[in-house]
Structure 1
Amino acid sequence: MDKDVVVIIGAGGIGLAIARRVGIGRTVLLADYSDKALGVAAEQLRGAGHDVSTHLVDVSEHDAVARLADAAAELGPVTQVVHSAGVSPVQGTTEQVLHVDLLGTALVLDEFARVIAPGGAGVVISSMAGHMAGAYPYDTERALATTPVAELLALPFLAPEKVGDSGAAYALSKRGNALRVQAAAVEWGRHGARINCISPGIISTPLAQDEMSGPGGEGYRQMIETSAAGRIGTPDDVAEAAAFLLGHQAGFITGSDLLADGGVIAALRTAQVWPVGRAQS
């Protein structure tokens, strides 16, 4: 009898932490854009006793994501899907961020809806960046949530010259992730499955280290210092949240976005309402 399959898209620190947490007793299908990263991550998981298959994928290409979903289904019942692949503002251009972080997530949600097993669950790893700007106009959010994936990047407000720099593209894409997950919960529900989103804060990964060594590094350090937790997050922090959302304890939760940022957004919003040094009236 085939073992249940957990698909981990993105072989970085968060993806690996989640694989270690939920992959026990299952076949882990590990997918990534980088053959080198994929090999290193698979070796680590196998060394820890996990049953691992690998698959190269470019999540911004429809056919590539469809092949990944088909490959997962061939291994056995696909009971868990984790999408953690992405590029940060310092790692890509505006166009690359939109293609990987926004379009890629939409493709994963669509393609895995057709292969997820009844009773299965998925998690998209987004970012607290999607919460920083607040809500976008209603028509923009509805378009981000519901536009067919083949037409998504043709939306006028997603033209790179309209979006702005890669930072703006990242925030917009991450807000779009949460909205797409909410909309996708309806289709996943028709298959007897659930899908949720986690928006982590500053997590100690190579991606975060790139950001903290870039021009916005001081801002990141200030956010950590003023957050309620007062520390940087770890991949294991995110893995624990993902394990909950993927597990039966979260059986009544779908279409949700869990902000797991150590209180950074809370601190930012509080500061906006009650500036430092001014008493609350």
Structure 2
Amino acid sequence: MTDVVVVTGAGGMGVAVARRIGGGRTVLLADAFPDTLDRAVAALRAEGYAAKGQVTDVSDGPSVVRLAEAAAAEGRLTAVVHTAGVSAATATVGQIMAVDLLGTAHVIDAFEPVATHGTALVCIASMAGHYATLTGEQETTLATAPTTDLLSLDVVVRAADLEPVMAYILAKRANQVRVEAAALAYNRRGARINTVSPGVISTAMAKAEQQGEAGTHMMASLTACGIGRTGTPGELAEVVAFLTGPGSLYITGTDILIDGGQAAWLRRHRPRA
């Protein structure tokens, strides 16, 4: 039986992940934009990967269910890596909630029924999620509320009045806690689920974020924390390969921070006003 890898998002992170873990497997790549998807699939096929594409809008639950069913029909579901998302620099608050918050919940829900022994799901969250200032009750609600209720939760409705950056922080924290809550159901299927929270990874989306004032501060903190550079998609893909491979069989329901020490500097060394 063929091993199947699903990657949502045909951008820099998604293609890097597909290259890293897709060798000798069927790679089912999903993206909301057909042209982007076709280019990525063609590039992977030219490099010898058994790649297929499926247009998928993660903000639409049935679209994600169709992706999960197609993946299960291809063979043994080995890994699912959810990289699809939008940026606070280029998206509205509504788009952030629909794609980054609700879309991740759809992926978690759709792939749990088709997960089998050995399946590993990794959702790309963000370092930003570590800076959410939510109450314990709010986090519990975000973690456990039915997906159909997510956009109507008070904490999410109030996000409409926030700047996109703050909405993004909320959405990414919701990703982290929702994966924590989903670990039990995945464990019962012999599967695993984790989040990876990257800092600044050198992708087209990150470059767009660097153009604004927030990006200036972000780049300055990379210098101040001592790393002095952005991360690469390949470095993120290595962590994903670990979390979807045999060396991490006892790791589930947790978050791995990949940020070059930026969060540590912000917490322990940033000058206080």
Match of 2:227 among 213, 226, 229: 229
Q: Would the aligned equivalents of 1:95 and 1:160 in 2 still touch at CA under 8 Å? A: no
Q: Does 1:80 align with 2:79?
A: yes
Query: Which residue of the partner structure matches residue 265 of structure 1?
Result: 263
**What's the secondary structure of 1:72's corresponding residue?**
helix
Alpha carbons of 1:271 and 1:42: their partners in 2 closer, same or farther (altered >3 Å)? same
Q: Does 1:47 align with 2:26?
A: no
Query: Which residue of the partner structure matches residue 136 of structure 2?
Result: 138
Q: Distance in 2 between matches of 1:15 and 1:230?
A: 24
AA in 1 matched with 2:146 = P
Alpha carbons of 1:229 and 1:99: their partners in 2 closer, same or farther (altered >3 Å)? same
After superposition, give the CA deviation of every residue in 1:239-269 in whole Å (9 maximum; x if it has no partner).
0000001111000000010010001111111
After superposition, give the CA deviation of every residue in 1:132-174 in whole Å (9 maximum; x if it has no partner).
24x5100000011000101111101211555512111100000
**What's the secondary structure of 2:269's corresponding residue?**
helix
Deviation of the 1:74 alpha carbon: 1.1
AA in 2 matched with 1:119 = G
Deviation of the 1:197 alpha carbon: 0.5
**What's the secondary structure of 1:159's corresponding residue?**
helix
Aligned residue pairs, count: 273
Q: Distance in 1 between matches of 2:159 and 2:188?
A: 38
Q: Does 1:207 align with 2:205?
A: yes
Query: Which residue of the partner structure matches residue 13 of structure 2?
Result: 14
Q: Distance in 1 between matches of 2:227 and 2:176?
A: 23
Deviation of the 1:275 alpha carbon: 4.1
Normalised to the residue count of structure 2, the TM-score between the two structures is: 0.97
Q: Distance in 1 between matches of 2:20 and 2:137?
A: 39
Q: Would the aligned equivalents of 1:145 and 1:183 in 2 still touch at CA under 8 Å? A: yes
Deviation of the 1:129 alpha carbon: 0.6
After superposition, give the CA deviation of every residue in 1:45-66 in whole Å (9 maximum; x if it has no partner).
1111100111001100111111
Q: Does 1:115 align with 2:108?
A: no
| 1:152-171 equivalences in 2 (<5 Å) | 152-160=150-158, 164-171=162-169
Q: Would the aligned equivalents of 2:124 and 2:195 in 1 still touch at CA under 8 Å? A: yes
Query: Which residue of the partner structure matches residue 279 of structure 1?
Result: none
Match of 1:150 among 125, 148, 151: 148
Normalised to the residue count of structure 1, the TM-score between the two structures is: 0.94
Unaligned runs of 5+ in 2: none
Alpha carbons of 1:120 and 1:148: their partners in 2 closer, same or farther (altered >3 Å)? same
**What's the secondary structure of 1:91's corresponding residue?**
coil
Q: Distance in 1 between matches of 2:159 and 2:74?
A: 43
Q: Would the aligned equivalents of 1:94 and 1:160 in 2 still touch at CA under 8 Å? A: no
Q: Distance in 1 between matches of 2:62 and 2:48?
A: 32
Q: Distance in 1 between matches of 2:70 and 2:90?
A: 29
Deviation of the 1:214 alpha carbon: 2.3
Query: Which residue of the partner structure matches residue 183 of structure 2?
Result: 185
RMSD: 1.4
| Identical counterparts, % of pairs | 46
Deviation of the 1:120 alpha carbon: 1.2
Q: Distance in 2 between matches of 1:275 and 1:154?
A: 36
**What's the secondary structure of 1:117's corresponding residue?**
coil
Unaligned runs of 5+ in 1: 277-281
8-17 or 161-170: bigger deviation: 161-170
